[in-house]
A and B are shown apart, each in its own frame.
Chain A
């Protein structure tokens, strides 16, 4: 199996990022939005890890950063899910367009 090189990883990462953004802009389901955010975060992680692998001067920096992002993503997911659960309890739906009570 040949090495895809840095460019291959970056292209894959950009593709995943675009999928995430697309997911964010098209979905109305809160869970879908959360998934889009996860895609974006993981595209970034892929970037970081690939950078650490191919750019010698970065050494372990990229991988540590990726670990940090994973932890933060977990925390974010926990908070977001908690909000959505409460939202679902109140509205019996997870459609984010319904969350407009504070709109002026």
Chain B
């Protein structure tokens, strides 16, 4: 044990332990639930089964699971903080791979002899500054959300509850909720420390399936189960691309270790891979990332994923899992060819713009946030595409904190307003839920890019990276102007949300809002503090001086930041500030200054409310197309003519039946015909005999 936990020489092992820690509550909960279920059916006939059943909580949900999960997450936080401390003590330059990375053989493929031709899938971890920061972020945000969910999901801790959406009485599922959450946390943390693409893929699928379970947590609601299916299926499309990329990497380099692959690409494209293959590999990898990070054209699942409980939306569909795509692009950054990076930049730009326009008109508080998430993820992709590696990943980190905060605030509002999510029915919540209102304001200011809030540091860097890129390449000027407009729109829709929900007077007298309990507000306050100051550095007014950014710079693979970006930094920053100010001012004029008019609160219609018709088109082309093709092929299959498969089979069967029916007529049952045939046969045989013996 001591040799395994040789943390002095292998401090990276702390992360491996921390990543596996959340599996402990998963195992305990799964075993307890299984044993309890087995005991449950025998409890009336078997005394010991009855005792085990009541010992494991009886009919009550496993509330202890929540505490277990939080304890495990706290352990992960402590270990990651310890690791971060050690990491900062390392000498400058590249990290010593002997101390921070280890790998071992997992599955051997090919020749079993100890020859070089045998390849193997490996299992390993590798820690660098990016991993360490992401790891800390996921565990901290995860812990806070776990705590918040203790309050938010308290209805699930009862033996019986009524589902408010479909009015169905069912048992509480508290233990199951924390089982899924812990499983998710373990998979996400393992994804972060994985050192090879296959391990990343395995964890990638695990977080995907956790997302499926949690979106469909209220699976009795048809909307929730369809949304879960949609998320899962859309992600499969992306994963197909990921698998293709993995296959290409494996056939060309014989390894999936990210560090080895990056090493192969250190001097541009290696001779062993053709230009086309390189592009296909990059596009496949990006398709996987686009599916997970909800980029166009695979963005449609994320807004629907809001059917899950709000803490899930905060943890998985805002802060961590959807960031996995951006993280992977950042992690495998040198594997992308310049053409692919341009594609990434444009996809990110499009996503940022399209989602932001939709967010302008949404009236459901969670949907606004969902589209805002899509939009911000687009920002990150854009930054990575134009070479702003640090900018994109810094935004990933800061966004995780303030978006988790915003979602938890929305959760607190839902909780306080008895599951009302429609912004048009809220208003004036500031008075009844002051802590939520204040913390959400911090989140709104952060996402809008107000100076000195964490979002400002990262957004400033993204825009200056985009500006530097478009100054170098004038034909790509759109890559700067569109994000600028989107920054303005972000400020507008976020302030619109805040004004509609928290200012003015209550619009629905039936709503009896109340502030949430401390178990929910304390995480909000902690997250608000983090959203404010997580990116601070000295001097405070210089976005380039962010301490978090400096740590990330240590892990930057290639320095591609344009000198122009730094030169025109003040210009980008000023323009971004102006855009955000304009957006916020417009929102104040429309919704904040006086009570919104009924026209502002009308049901949104038209192009934007229909989400640019993405869902409609996908439904018409892919869903109906698939169903129609299935029916057509079924019809063709069942067709009777001999060209179809079923027809061929049937005609063989009918031919056999016809032969049988005809042969049956020979057996007349008339004795004289038999005798006649007999005589003829004997005659024939005799004739043959004489002819043969002649």
Contacts and interface: CB of A to CB of B under 8 A. Distances in A.
Interface of A: 21, 24-28, 33, 96-97, 100, 103
Contacts of A26: 672
Main secondary structure of the interface of A (DSSP, over half): helix
Closest 5 CB pairs of A and B: A103-B669, A25-B676, A25-B672, A24-B675, A21-B679
B669 A25 contact: no
Query: Most chain-B Cβ atoms within 10 A of its Cβ — which of A24, A28, A33?
Result: A24
A25 B676 CA distance: 6
Contacts of A33: 671
A25 B683 CA distance: 15
Contacts of B669: 100, 103
Interface in B514-573: none
Interface in B665-684: 669-673, 675-676, 679
A21 B672 CA distance: 9
20 contacts: A21-B675, A21-B679, A24-B671, A24-B672, A24-B675, A25-B672, A25-B673, A25-B675, A25-B676, A25-B679, A26-B672, A27-B672, A28-B672, A33-B671, A96-B670, A96-B671, A96-B672, A97-B670, A100-B669, A103-B669
Contacts of A97: 670
A25 B680 CA distance: 11
Contacts of A100: 669
Contacts of B671: 24, 33, 96
A62 B679 CA distance: 25
Nearest to B679: A21
B356 to A, nearest CB: 81
A21 to B, nearest CB: 5
A100 B672 CA distance: 13
A57 to B, nearest CB: 23
Contacts of A28: 672
A3 to B, nearest CB: 27
B681 to A, nearest CB: 12
A92 B79 CA distance: 108
A33 B673 CA distance: 13
Interface in B653-693: 669-673, 675-676, 679
A26 B676 CA distance: 9
Contacts of A24: 671-672, 675
A24 B682 CA distance: 15
Nearest to B683: A21
A33 B674 CA distance: 13
A33 B671 CA distance: 10
A30 to B, nearest CB: 10
Nearest to A17: B679
A103 B673 CA distance: 15
Contacts of A21: 675, 679
A98 to B, nearest CB: 11
A71 B671 CA distance: 24
Given A25-B679, A33-B671, 18 more contacts: A21-B675, A21-B679, A24-B671, A24-B672, A24-B675, A25-B672, A25-B673, A25-B675, A25-B676, A26-B672, A27-B672, A28-B672, A96-B670, A96-B671, A96-B672, A97-B670, A100-B669, A103-B669
Contacts of B670: 96-97
A7 B672 CA distance: 30
Nearest to B668: A103
Nearest to B664: A104
A103 B672 CA distance: 16
A100 B669 CA distance: 7
Nearest to A21: B679
Contacts of B676: 25
A96 B670 CA distance: 8
A96 B671 CA distance: 8
A96 B669 CA distance: 10
A26 B600 CA distance: 106
Nearest to B673: A25
Contacts of B679: 21, 25
Contacts of A25: 672-673, 675-676, 679
